[in-house]
Homo-oligomer: A and B are copies of this chain.
Amino acid sequence: MGLRKAGVLGATGSVGQRFIQLLSNHPQFELAVLGASSRSAGKKYKDAVDWKQTSLMPAAAGEIVVSECTVEAFKDCDVVFSGLDADYAGPIEKAFKEAGLAVISNAKNYRREKDVPLVVPTVNSEHLAIIEKRVKDAAAAGQKRPGFIVCISNCSTAGLVAPLRPLVDKFGPIELLTTTTMQAISGAGFSPGFPGIDILDNLVPYISGEEEKIEWETKKILGEIADDGNSVKNLSDDEIRVSAQCNRVAVSDGHTECVSVKFKNGAPSIDAIKQCLRDYQCEATLLNCPSAPKHAIHVLEEQNRPQPRLDRDRDNGYGVSVGRIREDPVLDVKMVILSHNTIIGAAGSGVLIAEILAAKNVI
């Protein structure tokens, strides 16, 4: 199969720029359509965007003429990545799905739909099976490929669940989970983005809606596919209680989280936990997806690590670092988790989800 045609919705925004960066020179995808608001449509991308990435704008992307975010403009895309703001994503993504398009979205709008997988690709790619089933059922019935939406998780949730999945698989359910996050400002986008005066010699102990997202999404991502194979069944409040406290700090990229967990079946040893995390291999790695990290989890032994500036780029931002794993006097175990919020926590996960779907011939 040749290169799959990829479209990007919200191409001039923060997440959209990251999608473009990751999709340029991609071995499986070809950047075909860039969609943005009518203010940008009709201009060359390089004239429409205020490019704020630390690597230069890919030259070919810069020459693409920006389209409006219509089904018509994207109709030939094999996959569409959505970096749209939640204010706009709802009807556009729905229309794209109904038109038979494959949408991978960073927006929060459809994350809570039972038949929409909410995926951190190094964690719960098995939830994509509900899409795979739908596509195969349609093929078996002689119908054309159905459209669908796959949602990327909230950024701070992605980092949190990354090490929890192998722990739950090996040691059984986690019943109590607390996280205090220290989140990068890039997660706030940049139109206008997070104000400088609020972050200079300061931090803000509140991010609108973030704690609720972590507390809810964790239960879906750690849940299982329902018996009918068509939806995801969340963990219940009885199975796990999650508490998040979210803060914005003066870091550009990289969310750090101080996490404590209590296991239902008793605490494993610290060494057993480290070994479990070191041994973990995610499906994307086993499938040889191009962006899959060599190590989905990096266990750090230095007592003052992970640090965002030094560790956020491990495995190109797809590797999550876990350090300071130690006993917790209140719950069982505490640790520090660092994840790259715009890679594993946003656009990067979108691209890796698409690679998994491609490996499974769903797109």
| CB-based contact B331/A202 at 8 Å | no
Chain B residues whose CB sits within 8 angstroms of the CB of A88 once the complex forms: none
How many positions in chain A have a CB within 8 Å of any CB in the partner chain?
Answer: 60
Chain B residues whose CB sits within 8 angstroms of the CB of A41 once the complex forms: none
Contacts A247-B258, A330-B176; A201 near B204 (Cβ below 8 A): no
| CB-based contact B247/A330 at 8 Å | no
Contacts A247-B182, A260-B243, A329-B242; A193 near B204 (Cβ below 8 A): no
Cβ of A306 within 8 Å of any chain B Cβ, yes or no, is: yes
A326 to chain B, nearest CB (A): 9
* Cβ-defined partner of A205 (8 Å) among B186, B196, B205, B256: B256
Chain B residues whose CB sits within 8 angstroms of the CB of A245 once the complex forms: 180, 258, 260, 324, 334, 336
Chain B residues whose CB sits within 8 angstroms of the CB of A330 once the complex forms: 176-178, 241-243, 331
Cβ of A142 within 8 Å of any chain B Cβ, yes or no, is: no
Residues 308 to 323 of chain A near chain B (Cβ within 8 Å): 308-310, 313-314, 323
Residues 171 to 202 of chain A near chain B (Cβ within 8 Å): 176-178, 180, 182, 185-186, 188, 190, 192-202
Cβ of A361 within 8 Å of any chain B Cβ, yes or no, is: no
Which segment, of A32-40, A49-57, A76-84, A133-141, faces chain B?
A: A49-57
* Cβ-defined partner of A197 (8 Å) among B185, B241, B306: B185
Complex: chain B residue closest to A176, CB-CB:
B330
| CB-based contact A310/B52 at 8 Å | yes
In the bound complex, what is the Cα–Cα distance between A277 and B11 (angstroms)?
33
| CB-based contact B54/A203 at 8 Å | no
Sort A-B residue pairs by CB-CB distance and give the 8 closest, nearest first.
A192-B192, A180-B180, A202-B309, A245-B258, A206-B304, A250-B250, A201-B201, A243-B330
> A interface vs B, CB < 8 Å?
52-56, 176-178, 180, 182, 185-186, 188, 190, 192-206, 215, 241-243, 245, 247, 249-252, 256, 258, 260, 303-310, 313-314, 323-324, 328-331, 334, 336
